[in-house]
Amino acid sequence: MHEISDFRSDTVTRPTPEMYEAMRTAPLGDDVLGDEPTVKKLEKMVADMLGKEAAVYLPSGTQSNQVAIALHCNRGQELICEFLSHTYNNESGAIAFIAGAQVRPIHGKRGVMDPAEVEKMIRPVNLHQPRTTLITVENTSNAAGGAIVPLENILAIADIVKKNKPNIKYHLDGARLWNAHVATGIPLRQWCAPFDTVSVCLSKGLCSPVGSVLVGGRDDIERARYLRKQLGGGMRQSGILAACGIVSVTKMIDRLAEDHKKAHRLAEGVTALKGVDIDMSTVQTNIVNFGVPGREREFEGWRKRLQEERVLALHLNSRWRFVMHNDVDHDDVDRALKALRAILS
């Protein structure tokens, strides 16, 4: 058990000892000038892993997603995404601010959009309407509690995109794609093959302190590198950080299965608590979401009580959210369940 059991997010992870050593010994250059060897190594590794021509290393998942959207959407154009998607709800309105595009969201189920509805939402070419130029998917779905968007759904939407090439592109917000890969056993390349661009995070379950990677075709990635510079994302001796990313993608992916086990254990414990609403079918990876209907006004007080018991968690709207990661163990799960039992007894 740790001094503090921090379930707020998998972004709270600290670098591993191997990462600190990799930072200390990383060969360095200047990434903006194009001679950063450790960044180049990470980019090539991730591009190869995901089956794409090229990659660019960026400071954050938000910047990576928004660079991709700006690649595919010009001002006044439109993208289609799921209503609860991170790019639409949790990236500070950046779609409007950076790309100047608008969003046509679809109410999905656990982050999954109905392909028939997606096709219906594509705008016909009309003087009075914005042009649909992008469809995005988030996998796993953060707002849906880490639920996995099935590959068959992704492929069904990919067929719609193909019908509309080259006018419509396809982007994957794969911040937690690693979790979908580990949970299903489906190869990363297979998950990524239908998409023009894919963004993956290194700073969540894979424990890097900073960074995401955007992969795609060579021309798109060169344009993305230019957009990154415009947004202030050129990080100079960023090999210090990329060295952690190399450890992430070589050593930290398989261990995500342990996070999934901890999530199931917490969720099973929560189901026994009085008044709790939890759908176990949504507990597919490392996130546990649950509600306590009718008691939402008490949530902030409960958060403070949990903190007194050295348990950190977040309540978002009407749901609690506990996220598993490398820096919580099964004893931390026990501590959280004990504190929740005391509150809900």
Q: Which of 186, 218, 251 is the last residue of a domain?
A: 251
143 three-state secondary structure = coil
The token duo for 121 is 């939402």
Tokens of 58: 């960026």
| 287 and 260 part of one domain | yes
In a shared domain, residues 222 and 296: no
Provide DSSP, 65-104: HHHHHHHH--TT-EEEEETT-HHHHSSTTHIIIII--EEE
Q: Strand 314-316 to strand 319-323: parallel, antiparallel, or no bridges (unpaired)?
A: antiparallel
Instruction: Give the structural domain span for 275.
Output: 5-12+254-344
Last residue of a domain, one of 202, 220, 251: 251
CATH of the domain at 300: 3.90.1150.10
CB 195 within 8 A of CB 237: no
- Closest alpha carbon to 61 in 199, 180, 159: 199
Instruction: For residue range 181-238, list pLDDT tens digits in order.
Output: 999 999 999 999 999 999 999 999 999 999 999 999 999 999 999 999 999 999 999 9
Per the structure block, which two tokens stand in for 71?
């690649």
Q: In what order do the strands lie in the sheet with 314-316?
A: 287-290, 319-323, 314-316
Q: What is the CATH number of the domain that holds 122?
A: 3.40.640.10
Number of domains in the chain: 2
> Do 146 and 231 have their domain in common?
yes
Full pLDDT tens readout for the chain, 345 residues: 799 999 999 999 999 999 999 999 999 999 999 999 999 999 999 999 999 999 999 999 999 999 999 999 999 999 999 999 999 999 999 999 999 999 999 999 999 999 999 999 999 988 999 999 999 999 999 999 999 999 999 999 999 999 998 999 999 999 999 999 999 999 999 999 999 999 999 999 999 999 999 999 999 999 999 999 999 999 999 999 999 999 999 999 999 999 999 999 999 999 999 999 999 999 999 999 999 999 999 999 999 999 999 999 999 889 999 999 999 999 999 999 999 999 998
Distances (CA, A) of 9 to 83, 257, 312: 21, 17, 10
Instruction: Give pLDDT tens digits for 3-37.
Output: 999 999 999 999 999 999 999 999 999 999 999 99
| Per-residue tokens: 43 | 């980019």
Please indicate, yes or no, whether residues 237 and 259 belong to a single structural domain of this protein.
no
Is the same domain home to 134 and 272?
no
Residue 138 and residue 202 in one domain: yes
**Within 10 A of 222 (CB to CB), how many other CB atoms are there?**
12
pTM of the prediction?
0.96
The per-residue pLDDT for 317 is: 81
> Looking at 251, 282, 303, which one is the last position of a domain?
251
Whether residue 315 is found in the same domain as residue 194 = no
Together in a domain, 222 and 109: yes
Q: Are 82 and 144 within 8 A, CB to CB?
A: no
Same domain, 162 and 286: no
Q: Are residues 259 and 212 in the same domain?
A: no
Do residues 235 and 106 share a domain?
A: yes
* Residues 188 and 200 reside in one and the same domain: yes
What's the one-letter identity of residue 72? Answer: H
Which pLDDT score is estimated for 250?
A: 98
What is the phi-psi region of residue 146: left when phi exceeds 0, alpha when psi lies from -120 to 50, beta otherwise?
left
